[in-house]
Structure 1
C-alpha cells in the first residue's frame, strides 16, 4: 500500500513549464468557484437575500439546493462536450454560466429568479469540473494527483478569505451584492485570459477520438466504449462515499457537538475543520509526488472512520474539536480530487466523460445522503447520523482496498 512511484514508471519527470501559467489561470476559476459554492450558505448573505426577496431565510436554503440540481442536469453532457469540443470551450461555458449566476443572484427580485440563477451556478460547476480539471491534468502530466489537488487548494483559499471579504463590505457599508458583481466581473476577465492562453489543443482533440480516429461519441456512447470493470465501478463509487463523509460531517456534526457532547460553542468545529482541510491540501500535494494517488483513497477514509468511531464513543467537546480537524484533513482534504485523478488516468481517452461520472456520483451523494440524514436525525437523534457516517465511510474503505489490490491489473487493461 505504500508503494513509491518509481521514476522509471513515468515517461516525463514533470509538467511542461510552458503551460504552468496556463494552469494557474485555469485554477483561478476555482478561486471564484470557492466563493460561489459557499455564498448561499453564509448566514449574513441569507439574511440579505431574504430581505431582498421579502421572504424567510429558509427559502435561501431551497435556492442553494438548485446548485446541485444544475450539476445533475448538466454533468451527463458537459463531459462529452469537453471531450468532443475541447477543454477551452467547456471551461468558457462554465465561466459564462458563473457570471450569470453571480449577476442573477445579486439582481434577483424574488426566489424564482434566484432559483434559475442557482441552476446556472450548478451548471457552471459542471463545466468547470469537466473542462478545467481534465485540462489541468493534461497540462501537468504526469502529476495528475497534484493537478486535481490544486483545485481544492484554490477553493479552500477562497472559502478562508470569504468572511473577510464580507466583513470589508460591512465596514464600508456596502451591500453584499457588490461582492457578487465583483466576482462576475473577475471571472469574465479570467475568461478573456482563458481565450488567450496556450493549451495543448491537439491533445484535447485527440482525447475526443478513439484509437480508430473516429469522432467522440455521446455520453452513452462513451460509456459503452469505456469497458467498465468491477474495479472501475468501485472507484467511481468512492466518489459517492467520500462525498458523503464530509457532507454528513459539515451538515450534522455541530448538532452532535451541541446535543450529545454538550459543547457551548459548536461553531468552532468549523474552524478546526477548515484548518484540517488546508493542511491536508499541502501535505497531500507533496505526498502524491512520491506515492500513487490511489493509495490515499484507502488510507484517508480509514483515518476518518477511526476518528468517527472515537467521536461517537467518547462524546466530549475536546474529541469533537479533534474530530473536526481530522475529518477536515482525511475526508475533505482531496479524496474526491484524487479519485477523479485516478479515473482520469484509467480512462485517458474520455477524461471529460469520466469526470462527469464521478461528479454525478458525488452530486447524488449530496442529495440522497443528506436527505436520509435529515430524516434519521429527526427520528433518532444526532448520534444516529454519526453511525450512518461511520458505515458509509467504512464502505468507502473497503471499496478503496479492493481497488488498490486490483489497481495494477486495472491500469494495465484500461490505459
Structure 2
C-alpha cells in the first residue's frame, strides 16, 4: 500500500469493474433489448459480436503505441469510448445503430487493455501476476453485481436503462481522477531496470533471456484466443442454458452468472495468496485449464439445477478467475521489452474470439446443449496449449524466474 501508484491503480481497477458489467450487460438485458431493436436473442448475439470487431480494429496498434507514448492517454481514451457505448446503447433503436456502439465498446476495451495491463506490470514489478489477476477480481465483481441489479430492476418493474446509467456515472468519476491526478511509470521501465540488473550480475552486454517469437508467440496467441473463448462463451449463455436445459426459473438461472462470478473472485484471492508464497504464474495455467474442461463436461453431461449451480462456480473459478491475465503475465516473461505490444497481440487473439464465438453460438442458439459441448472442446484445447507453454517455459527459464509477490 506504500506504492505511490496505488491511487491510480485503484482507479484502473474500477474501470475494469465497469468493464465486467459491459461484457454481460447486453446479454443480461437481452429480452428488453430484443424488443427495443425489433429482433430476437440471435439478433442481440450479433450485436454482442460487434465488441470483438472493435477490439480487432485498434488493439494491436494501440498496444504498440502505448509503448511509445505511454499508458495514460490510452486509459483516458478507453474511459471516454466506453461512456459512448453505454450512452449509445440506450439511444439505439435498431440492430444497425446498436452494432456501431458495440464496436465502440470493443475499441474502448482495447484502449483500456493497452494502457492498463502494461501499467500495472510496471507499477508493481515484483507482483506482476498478482496485479493483473486482481483486475479479474474487479471484472468478476461487476459480473456478480449486474445480474442481481438487473433482477431487482425487473422485479421492481423499473427501467432497464438504470444499469447503463450507473456505469456511466462511475466512468465519469474515474475519468476526472485519471486526467487530473493519475500517475503512471515510464513505458517498460521495469524491463530496463531488470536488464541493468542482469548486466550487473552477468557482466556488460548480458541480455535478458527471451522466448522464440514464432514458437512461443504462436502458442500464446492461440492461448489468448482459447482462454477468452472459454469464459466468454459460458458467460454469455449460462443463464439461458440453466433456464432451457436445466429447467431453472428466471431468478435462479440468472443467479448462475453470480455463482460464476463468485468462483472467479475466489480464484483471484487464492491465486494472490499462493503468489505471496512464491508459486509461479506458470504453475497455475495447466491446473486451471484442466478444471475448466472438467467442469464444463460435467455441466453438459448432467444438466440439473444442482450440477449447473456447482459447476458455474467451478468454471468461474478456473476459466474466469484470472487465467487469461496469468497467461499474459507469463508471456511478458518470454517477451519482457514490449509489454504494450504483447498485450495488443495477446488480446487481439482474444478479441477475435469475442467476435467469432457469438456468431458461432448465435447460429447454434436453437440447441443450447450443443453450445456448452462446443465450450467443452474449446477448454480441452486450452489445456493442451497450457501444457505446451509450461514445457517451453521450463526449457527456457528453468527455475530462474520466480513467481508473484506482494503489491509493494
Coarse TM-score class (shorter-chain normalised): 0.7 to 0.9
Q: How far off is 1:202 after superposition?
A: 2.9
Q: Deviations over 1:162-205 (max 9, x none)?
A: 24544676798864445434433432331221123353443457
Shift of 1:24: 0.8
For 1:288 and 1:405, the matched residues in 2 are separated by 20
Gaps of 5+ in 2: 196-209, 402-408
Checking the alignment, whether the CA contact within 8 Å between 2:53 and 2:352 is kept in structure 1 is no
Q: How far apart are 1:356 and its partner, in Å?
A: 1.3
Q: Scaled by the length of structure 2, what TM-score is found?
A: 0.81
CA distance in structure 2 between the aligned counterparts of 1:382 and 1:275, rounded to whole angstroms: 23
Post-superposition shift, 1:394? 2.1
- Distance in 1, matches of 2:50 and 2:73, equals 24
Q: Secondary structure at the match of 2:276?
A: coil
8 A contact 2:244–2:368 mirrored in 1: yes
Q: Matched residue of 2:338: which SS?
A: helix
Mapping for residues 9-408 of structure 1, pairs under 5 Å: 17-43=3-29, 46-47=31-32, 50-51=35-36, 55-58=38-41, 59-166=43-150, 175-197=159-181, 199-204=183-188, 228-252=213-237, 267=253, 268-290=255-277, 291-314=279-302, 316-373=304-361, 375=363, 382-408=368-394
Is the alpha carbon distance of 1:182 and 1:243 closer, same or farther for their aligned partners in structure 2, counting shifts above 3 Å?
closer
**1:28 and 1:252 mapped to 2: Cα distance?**
25
**Residue 89 of structure 1: how far off its partner (Å):** 0.6
- 1:162 and 1:411, CA in 2 relative to 1: closer, same or farther beyond 3 A? same
Structure 1 alignment gaps of length 5 or more:
1-14, 212-224
The SS at the match of 2:126 is coil
Q: Matched residue pairs, number?
A: 383
Shift of 1:364: 1.8
Q: Which has the higher contact order (CA 8 A, sep 6+)?
A: 2
SS in 2 for 1:56: coil
CA distance in 1, matches of 2:144, 2:190: 38
Q: Is the 8 A contact 1:231 1:410 kept in 2?
A: no
Shift of 1:256: 5.9
CA contact (8 A) 2:78 2:107 kept: yes
Deviations 1:55-112 (A, max 9, x none): 2354444333222211111112111121111000111110111122222223335444
- 2:156 and 2:305 map into 1 onto residues whose CA distance is 37
Q: Is the 8 A contact 1:83 1:207 kept in 2?
A: no
Alpha-carbon RMSD across the aligned residues, in angstroms, is 3.5
1:178 and 1:262 map into 2 onto residues whose CA distance is 29
Quote how far apart the aligned CAs of 1:339 are: 0.8
TM score, norm. by length of structure 1:
0.79
For the structure 1 residues 36 and 319, does the alpha-carbon distance in structure 2 shift closer, same or farther, using more than 3 Å as the test? Answer: closer
SS in 2 for 1:38: helix
Q: Provide the rounded CA distance (Å) in 1 between the counterparts of 2:291 and 2:232.
A: 16
